[in-house]
Amino acid sequence: MVSKVVMPKLGATMEKGTIVKWLAPVGDYVESGDPIAEIQTDKITLEIEAEASGVLLKTLYDEGSEVTVQEVIAYIGQEDEKIIEKCEDHITEETTIEGNLFFKDKIRRTPAARKLARIYQINLENVPGTGRMGMIKKSDVENYLANNKKTSPLSDTVHLKEPHLVSSPGPDQSGNKPIPISAEVVDDQRMKLTGIRKVVADRMTQSMQIPQVTLMSEVDMTNCVELRKNLLPIIEKTNGFRLSYNDILIKIVAHTIRRYPTLNASLQNDEIVCHSSVNIGFAVDTPAGLVVPVVKNAQKLGLVSITETCNQLIRLAREGNLKYEQMREGTLTISNLGKYEIDEFTPIINPPEAAILGVGRIRPKPVVINEEIKIKSTMKLSLTFDHRIVDGAPAAAFLSALKETLECPYQLFM
Amino acid sequence: MRTITYSEAIREAMSQIMRHNPDVFIMGEDIGVYGGAFGLTNGMIEEFGAERVRITPISEAAITGCATGAAMTGMRPILEIQFSDFVMIAADNLVNQAAKMRYMFGGKAKVPMVVRLPGGSGAGFAAQHSQSLEAWMTHIPGLKVVQPSNAYDAKGLMIAAINDDNPVLFYEHKLLYNETGEVPREEYEIPLGKAHVKRTGSDVTIVATGIMVKKAMEAAEELEKDGILAEIIDPRTLVPLDQEVIINSVKKTGRVLVVHEAVKRGGYGAEIASMIAESDAFDYLDAPIKRLGGVETPIPYNPGLEQKAVPQVQDMLQECRKIVME
């Protein structure tokens, strides 16, 4: 019996997944449980396992294709077995003729062209073929790459044509060849909205449907700076990791938010769910785009554990190896732009969470204390909350409490 | 360096080894005073005597059977089959005996013998004396198959063949006998299983065997005028085949033409082509793998037709241009 392999649905918001790589070639025997494809979804990369043992009869999509969830992407069965179903929703329509797989109107391309297209993730449909019977050759792909610069980050490494120069209209006064002026004609750069970029785009558009309000407050970080200065060498000696302000923020937010349950909440099908555990997501910028790994049960963790967890998650995020589990079930997100020259900004909620905390840089500033001007390390916090879940007053109370704890972090001992 | 002919290079290889290795002897039809059908053994009977330069009856089966037995007892015979076409008379002794002995005796018996096989067309010897049947022998496990394309390789490969403990079929091309080349005086070996890149290029790989190497070199000169740079690989030995050199070249050029004089159908070019298609060079191919071989006809006696029956420089030019341009 032929069994189907489908694009799995791995989250409430997941609509499509991208086939990053086929892990088993067509015609190979796969055991049930063997990984057969790598897919990218919701900012993570996962392996799909075969649910049945048999020969991978056919894959319906090329690597790099985006496929709707629950869509059939491959068939597994016995060798020479017929594939009965007719797959309609993909490019290479197939039908069964006398037990043989029959492919209609496939793009003709040489192995070398196919390899190059795979490396640079080019859809060969867009490449005009100049070979025999319109076959796409390696040189066609190279030309396409040269004319569509920066199609992928790697494209600089291919042998590209020199950018053509706009030459001056006529010979110069000496009667010599026209002197090129240094105005390069470079086409606009176009990038398809796919992968992480697409997920971010969808999620942020979704977020803007939420009525959200941002509150801002300035915090005196002097004591936190002192706390970090004292704890950093101790923690570093314990586990080799350097304590960051982000770790301290996670600890203090988790400590404070317990008193404000409506901020550690989410809206699910007209129900406000106040979560028992504080799972803090923190935004990480990776080469592939923004991802938000989650520190689970942060209210139970000490600074040593938080530092270890965060470092591990950041490393996985940068390597693109975050698992789906490591990014789900967040209850509040922290977005820290403190390493840049940013003081404050309006963060956008990561749905379905109730709030997000934006963090600016720490910098010394003159502050009036008891009618005296003193230099203090200050930092601005921006708390954006979902007004459907929580009102301004409790949000303001939480932000004030947060400010208070940050200014006197010794409260953590209480 | 001095220049000698392909046939002198082969004779020199045999003579030099015979001078210091008493186990080596030669046998064949008319190889004594007459010096062999192509004069390859001229003067050898005078130097080594009739005991070591054995003139045999006209029976290839007898020569081969005798050599196989002698080899198994510790001698290292070199036998000449006057025309390689006659090897089928000796097929049983070669294919069923010599090729199997080492295996069937669990490695305790060795068969160190060299079978010299003048082959190929172009000399007007007609259908029964002009064939290129080397692909037949490559199919038999236990036999090594060598096909030198020039004087230098002929000497080095002959010495390696004599020193090998297995039956080696040494295909010489009649039209190459008088080709000259620089050949060192001393003994040297070209290991069996090492291909030679005769010319480097970036646009198309020509894998050519035997006399086709010479023609491919001429074709490459012409192609260069069109701006097509051909890389020429001479496998030198068909068994064992140096896959790595061929694969690396195809990876570099992305295009390949395999040329041999033997009939294209079932020829050794098919083996090379499939080997490339099965290798990781496949992903680098930018054109179908092409083969150029003899037409499916017995070699004609008529000199004009004889030329038409096997690949010529012009055919290679045409194929290469098609591969590169299409």
- Which site among B202, B286, B289, B323 would you substitute to test the A interface, given the most A Cβ atoms closer than 10 Å to its Cβ? B286
A291 with A284: CB under 8 angstroms? Answer: yes
> Shortest CB distance from B284 goes to which of A112, A131, A137?
A112
Check residue A191 and give its pLDDT: 73
What angle is formed at CA A270 by the lines to CA A269 and CA A273, rounded to 5 degrees?
A: 85
Q: Could you tell me the pTM of the whole model?
A: 0.55
Confidence at A83, pLDDT banded by 50, 70, 90: low
In this prediction, the residues of chain B whose per-residue pLDDT falls under 50 are: none
> Shortest CB distance from A137 goes to which of B283, B284, B286?
B286
Q: Model confidence over B71-112: pLDDT tens digits?
A: 999 999 999 999 999 999 999 999 999 999 999 999 999 999
Confidence at A105, pLDDT banded by 50, 70, 90: low
B156 with B126: CB under 8 angstroms? Answer: no
Confidence at A157, pLDDT banded by 50, 70, 90: very low
Pick from A11-25, A63-77, A332-346, B213-227: least confident: A11-25
The helix/strand/coil state of A58 is strand
- Spell out which residues of chain A touch residue B284, defining contact as CB-CB under 8 Å: 111-112, 115
Mean pLDDT is highest, among A131-140, A150-159, B119-128, for: B119-128
Burial zone of B156 (CB within 10 Å; 0-12 exposed, 13-18 middle, 19+ buried): buried
Confidence at A42, pLDDT banded by 50, 70, 90: low
ipTM of the complex: 0.77
> Shortest CB distance from B283 goes to which of A111, A131, A139?
A111
Could you confirm whether A391 is annotated as catalytic? yes
Check residue A106 and give its pLDDT: 67
Nearest to B214 by CA among B310, B131, B137, B138: B310
Question: Which residues, listed in sequence order, are joined to residue B144 by a DSSP beta bridge?
Answer: B168
Euclidean distance between CA atoms B283 and A385, whole angstroms: 54
Please report how the helices A138-147 and A111-119 are oriented relative to each other, as an axis angle in degrees rounded to 10.
30
**pLDDT top residue among A273 and A190:** A273
Mean pLDDT is highest, among A45-54, A277-286, B189-198, for: B189-198
Q: Model confidence over A342-360: pLDDT tens digits?
A: 999 999 998 889 999 999 9
Check residue B133 and give its pLDDT: 96
Euclidean distance between CA atoms B114 and B320, whole angstroms: 36
CB contact under 8 A, A111 and B285: yes
B286 with B310: CB under 8 angstroms? Answer: no
**Interstrand relation of B204-208 and B230-234 (parallel, antiparallel or unpaired):** parallel
Report residue B21 as tokens.
């290795």
Confidence at A185, pLDDT banded by 50, 70, 90: low
* CA-to-CA separations, A411 to A179, A252, A334, B71, B145, in angstroms, rounded: 72, 9, 21, 96, 87
Check residue A186 and give its pLDDT: 60
Could you confirm whether A105 is annotated as catalytic? no
CB contact under 8 A, B286 and A112: yes
- Spell out which residues of chain B touch residue A139, defining contact as CB-CB under 8 Å: 286
Confidence at A108, pLDDT banded by 50, 70, 90: confident
Q: How far is B319 from chain A (nearest CA, A)?
A: 14
Percent of chain A with pLDDT over 70: 83
Handedness of CA A221, A224, A226, A228 (dihedral sign): negative
- Spell out which residues of chain B touch residue A115, defining contact as CB-CB under 8 Å: 283-284
Q: How far is B59 from chain A (nearest CA, A)?
A: 51
Q: Model confidence over A221-243: pLDDT tens digits?
A: 999 999 999 999 999 998 889 99
State whether residue B283 sits within 8 Å of chain A by CB.
yes
Nearest to B233 by CA among B253, B223, B222: B253
Check residue A353 and give its pLDDT: 92
Check residue A189 and give its pLDDT: 73
Q: Model confidence over A304-336: pLDDT tens digits?
A: 999 999 999 999 888 878 877 888 889 999 999
Check residue A26 and give its pLDDT: 85
> Shortest CB distance from B285 goes to which of A112, A131, A139?
A112
Q: Does residue A164 carry a pLDDT above 50?
A: no
Check residue A84 and give its pLDDT: 55
CB contact under 8 A, A111 and B287: no
